[in-house]
Structure 1
């Protein structure tokens, strides 16, 4: 139970912090809207760099648990600094130097899974616990803040960090790494193929980020419904994502990952196209089933795909994590379509459908199995490719 517990705690840690961070900056540190924007941008930039450097160090060391342990300790330090200071510059420095590296813990967990020989289905099922944390975390954080004030969320974050340190320490004592022979360097991978997959996932993440961001405006301006329907729709999609991930975990051993991912993209195309013309709340909620399947494949199968085509577990997890960050940046022009066309915010969904079609075609044309390298003989690298060969 160490791995599921660790996934849950890492998910909760930042499901508490990230949604509440802007409120903390405004209420505790008296930051203006502009200062909040800059603080969050600097924090996210620090997280982007850390999610590349820390996993790279773990790859070189061949140890992902000790850096995870350090991430838990850094989270405790971040909560402590934010609790004792009211100076905004100090808070921003703490977010970059402590919060950026601390946020890599979840990526290191999945790198550790790959390093210890976990099957793709195990990785996907573990990802479901992170999704559950993000369903439960923001409402819990809101309750804590409403009942005890904004600083109280720092105590909750520290408590979860203590649990993270405890489970990671226990994981370190229990770890058993399967001997995989000499490490395979990622330079032996076709870089163009890796870049193509990264770009595709940035595009897929951008469509999700843009449509989630405009959901409230779409519901009120386009559908003429109360804003609460946006929260209900997003909540339904998030809740359905968990059983979708569990189902994907069961299907992974029977159906290849690329096929599952293509099915998710097809569901995404239908979802976005239908949302562009939807008119009532019933269809709005019903379509969230397609949305959940789409994002579950992007989140679950996408992670295992990166681990398949990139032989370094830390680098694979770090790159995948950063597709989410870069996708959020790329979502900006998509959101701008809401004010530039007659469709209004429906144009955001229509454009997302077009982008997902292009991503689906690119994925269909991309070979995912790495070519054999010296020392591997005729064995094709990658868990999904090996599974396909075995079943054939």
Structure 2
């Protein structure tokens, strides 16, 4: 090799090496991009279900629908509290999070007071009769309003009194004694009695929707308007809230209404599904009320047919939850519900509209999970429980 060729080779070789290194780096960057944006999302979409079989899976019945679920959203007591609805046309005693009351030296306006002469309006309905025969349940003891975030607090106890039932026949005159008792406690601010009697309502929801000063004012005002008859009961429409009472509730000794602030029922919330699971657990030891049984207050869905978007991720979600001969859940379901309650529960659904099937779990791709159905009328039932295997 001549001296000139040697000098040329020594000069050009580093350039070729640098170019090769740049080419390798560029190829590495492309590979990383492919992994991050193409491969990883496909891996993440694979359900964490050891029972899932390899091979093609059934497609969703909805053409073009996303395989991923969405988190349940909508107005609830948390994001649409009665304290922040402007019902009293005065600053709330509890300002919204992140805000401060105005400090301009002017005295705050006095909120409107409950009229001591306010009465329950029964104009046009006092002579109505029950459209069908009904059996309702009362309890001789008040239910214990729970704070059951830890199921270990539920000691094995035996109720000291048994429930009693009320029966009415089709054509019997409506009995408003239960609704009058509710209205009297509402007007007088006896919220403790109200909550103990209306124990089937989620406690956190009841506190905001029934017991705040704005809620009290809105409910008294609504129940002072003329009621109207509906297919399922009676309804009072106020300025801020619609108050509905079913025929069944009108046959009890204490009637607990369903509320729709702004004419819209609250969206289902985590405390709602949590309360259903807690009541199921409590029935195995010490029910929240002596009358809280599946026969008296059904929590399980009578029919269960979840959408394909759920069963694709978890085929066992199609298995309907059942009870034993005593009307209780088995030990495996009990343990699974405990695990779910101990996790950071999120609610997932296919589409945010009612009626709605929903999944309660820490993640839409992880077990354990519980599945529910929420109807348009606000009723909520549990359909399936899937343990982690």
Q: TM-score, normalised by structure 2?
A: 0.22
Higher helix proportion, which one?
Answer: 1
Higher strand proportion, which one?
Answer: 2
Which one scores higher on RCO, CA 8 angstroms, separation ≥ 6?
1
**Which of 1 and 2 has greater Rg?**
2
Q: TM-score, normalised by structure 1?
A: 0.22
